């Protein structure tokens, strides 16, 4: 995985670019601060402004290292110089839930003797889910973890992205619990880790908050038993 512009400059929501490839309803840009999604996280949304007006980007369709910015108008063709704007509210919702999914992951790992995450999904509407490899547990114990997640929001812990050698990371106990949704290393063999200060450190290529205090309340909804060894926890952002 390449190092994304949105990883290098997480606060960059607007910039100029030019179209380097186009088809009806989609364009490839010379640079893009959109997050392409992946690992269960939806992509950024936003707009591309041209001399003729603004058009919405509904999602990113990655094709290898090429990102097609898919437009709301399937017939639209765009060329030349453009101005790009990322939807900051959407980014914040997704980054909030994604960051809290790290926190929940860490709490489940501690509460249930090293239980692993087997899948995750973060949606643009402020909802998401995580699947944990858990069997024969009381779902109320799982549901009760919403409170310590909200404690972490209230404490305002710093969240940092750091890059480490991928081989070293593979040998570090604890990082492995999220490998099912972890990104591949960068071309120079580094792995991106998200560090929630004093609580959690795991490999991830998604978008995150820079401080847990930026999140709205975290609420746990339905918990489903999906197979003998799988609990699906649904969650959402509260008010
Ligand atoms: Zn993440």
Per-residue model confidence as pLDDT tens digits over 21-67 = 999 999 999 999 999 999 899 999 999 999 999 999 999 999 988 99
The tokens describing 29, both together, are: 């840009």
Per-residue model confidence as pLDDT tens digits over 89-116 = 999 999 999 999 999 999 998 898 878 8
Q: What pLDDT was estimated at residue 176?
A: 53
CA distance 225 to 228: 7
Pick the CATH number of 91-237 from 3.30.980.10, 3.40.50.1110, 3.40.50.300, 3.40.50.12780: 3.30.980.10
Q: What pLDDT was estimated at residue 130?
A: 96
CA distance 79 to 34: 18
- The closest alpha carbon to 100, from 227, 231, 196, 224, belongs to 196
pLDDT at 180 over 60: no
3-class secondary-structure state, position 205? coil
Whole-number Å distance, alpha carbon 14 to ligand 1 midpoint, is: 23
Whole-number Å distance, alpha carbon 204 to ligand 1 midpoint, is: 5
Position with higher pLDDT, 237 vs 174: 237
Angle value at C-alpha 151, between 147 and 152, nearest 5 degrees = 120
CB 116 within 8 A of CB 108: no
What protein residues have CB closer than 5 angstroms to ion ligand 1?
98, 204, 206
Q: Give 2's pLDDT tier (boundaries 50, 70, 90).
A: low
Whole-number Å distance, alpha carbon 196 to ligand 1 midpoint, is: 10
Whole-number Å distance, alpha carbon 93 to ligand 1 midpoint, is: 13
CA distance 120 to 131: 6
Least confident of 144-148, 190-194, 217-221: 190-194
Q: What pLDDT was estimated at residue 98?
A: 96
Whole-number Å distance, alpha carbon 21 to ligand 1 midpoint, is: 30
Whole-number Å distance, alpha carbon 50 to ligand 1 midpoint, is: 33
DSSP helix, strand, coil percent of the chain (3-state; round to 5): 25, 40, 40
CA distance 120 to 233: 9
CA distance 219 to 211: 18
What fold does the segment set 5-86 form as a domain?
Answer: Elongation Factor Tu (Ef-tu); domain 3 (2.40.30)
Q: Give 229's pLDDT tier (boundaries 50, 70, 90).
A: confident
- The closest alpha carbon to 94, from 6, 26, 178, belongs to 6
The ranges assigned to domains in the chain are: 5-86, 91-237
Q: Please, what sign has the CA dihedral across residues 135, 137, 139, 142? A: negative
CB 207 within 8 A of CB 41: yes
């Amino acid at each position: 995985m390449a190092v994304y512009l949105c990883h290098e400059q997480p606060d960059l929501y607007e910039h100029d670019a030019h179209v380097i490839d186009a088809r009806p309803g989609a364009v490839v840009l010379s640079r893009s601060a959109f997050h392409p999604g992946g690992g269960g996280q939806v992509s950024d949304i936003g707009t591309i402004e041209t001399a003729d007006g603004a058009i919405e980007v509904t999602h990113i369709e990655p094709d290898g290292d090429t990102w097609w910015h898919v437009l709301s108008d399937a017939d639209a063709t765009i060329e030349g110089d453009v101005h790009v704007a990322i939807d900051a509210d959407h980014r914040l919702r997704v980054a909030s839930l994604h960051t809290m999914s790290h926190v929940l992951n860490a709490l489940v790992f501690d509460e249930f003797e090293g239980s692993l995450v087997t899948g995750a999904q973060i949606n643009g509407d402020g909802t998401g889910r995580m699947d944990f490899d858990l069997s024969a547990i009381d779902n109320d114990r799982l549901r009760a973890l919403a409170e310590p997640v909200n404690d972490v929001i209230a404490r305002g812990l710093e969240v940092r992205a750091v890059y480490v050698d991928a081989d070293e990371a593979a040998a570090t106990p604890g990082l492995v619990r999220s490998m099912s949704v972890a990104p591949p290393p960068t071309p120079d063999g580094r792995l991106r880790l998200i560090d929630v200060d004093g609580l959690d450190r795991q490999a991830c290529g998604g978008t995150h908050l820079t401080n847990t205090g930026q999140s709205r309340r975290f609420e746990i909804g339905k918990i489903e038993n999906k197979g003998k060894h799988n609990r699906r926890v649904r969650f959402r952002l509260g008010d």
